[in-house]
Amino acid sequence: CEDALAKSLSDLMELVKLLREDIANQRQEITYLRRLLENCAGCKEPSSSSLRLEPTCRNANPCYPGVECRETSSGLRCGRCPMGLVGDGKICKPAVTCADRPCFIGVQCRDTLNGPQCDACPLGYDGDGRSCTIRSANILVPSHNVQHYQRQYTARKYSVISS
């Protein structure tokens, strides 16, 4: 049993020796890599005087998405806002908002990036939420085939007029 214990200790000491050698090699490699990085011209931060980035449409586009950016002698300039939006080209907002009350009376309005969105028309009305038509009477109207009748709604149209 003592021989087995001595053999195990000897093997363990040999492994520890190999691990120490591996660690020493890794330290040397780390030192070498550190020196490479310290002396690498491409790895150093440029001094503020040697590198001055002029803003361009490529690296500093201030315009609203989809708006043309132009580089001029006086700086970057933005084109017109996309159709349906108003602004200076940097900031574009919907031309109409819920504050303008674009929806039919009583219909909920939500401002979105694409402009105001109106909920559904009230019960008894048809339409898109901006313009709603009231269904007034349910009458029977003869179809082209005299033997069959079809139901048809007569309607009056109401719209919101914005000023």
Give the E-state strand segments of 11-130 in sequence order.
Answer: 69-72, 75-78, 85-87, 92-94, 109-112, 115-118, 125-127
> Do 143 and 152 form a contact (C-beta atoms < 8 A)?
no
Asked if the structure places residue 46 within a domain, the reply is no
**Same domain? 90 vs 115:** no
**Same domain? 132 vs 102:** yes
> Do 111 and 97 form a contact (C-beta atoms < 8 A)?
yes
Query: What's the confidence (pLDDT) of residue 152?
Result: 44
pLDDT tens sequence across 3-47 = 999 999 999 999 999 999 999 999 999 999 998 888 887 776 766
**Same domain? 74 vs 119:** no
**Average predicted confidence (pLDDT) for the chain:** 82
Asked if the structure places residue 45 within a domain, the reply is no
- Three-state DSSP class for 45? coil
**Same domain? 150 vs 106:** yes
Give CA torsion, residues 4, 6, 8, 12, to 10 deg: 180
Q: In terms of pLDDT, which residue wins out, 54 or 162?
A: 54
Residue 73, domain CATH: 2.10.25.10
Asked if the structure places residue 47 within a domain, the reply is no
> Do 73 and 135 form a contact (C-beta atoms < 8 A)?
no
**Same domain? 63 vs 14:** no
Query: What's the confidence (pLDDT) of residue 31?
Result: 93
Query: What's the confidence (pLDDT) of residue 141?
Result: 47
**Same domain? 87 vs 107:** no
Domain count along the chain: 3
Asked if the structure places residue 9 within a domain, the reply is yes
**Same domain? 88 vs 60:** yes
Structural domain harbouring 34: 2-39
Alpha-carbon distance 56 to 5, whole Å? Answer: 74
**Same domain? 80 vs 123:** no
pLDDT tens sequence across 120-157 = 999 989 999 999 998 876 544 444 444 444 444 444 44
Cβ contacts of 26 within 8 Å, gap of 6 or more: none
Query: What's the confidence (pLDDT) of residue 145?
Result: 45
Residue 107 pLDDT more than 60? Answer: yes
Q: In terms of pLDDT, which residue wins out, 94 or 142?
A: 94
- Three-state DSSP class for 145? coil
Asked if the structure places residue 44 within a domain, the reply is no
Give the E-state strand segments of 16-114 in sequence order.
Answer: 69-72, 75-78, 85-87, 92-94, 109-112
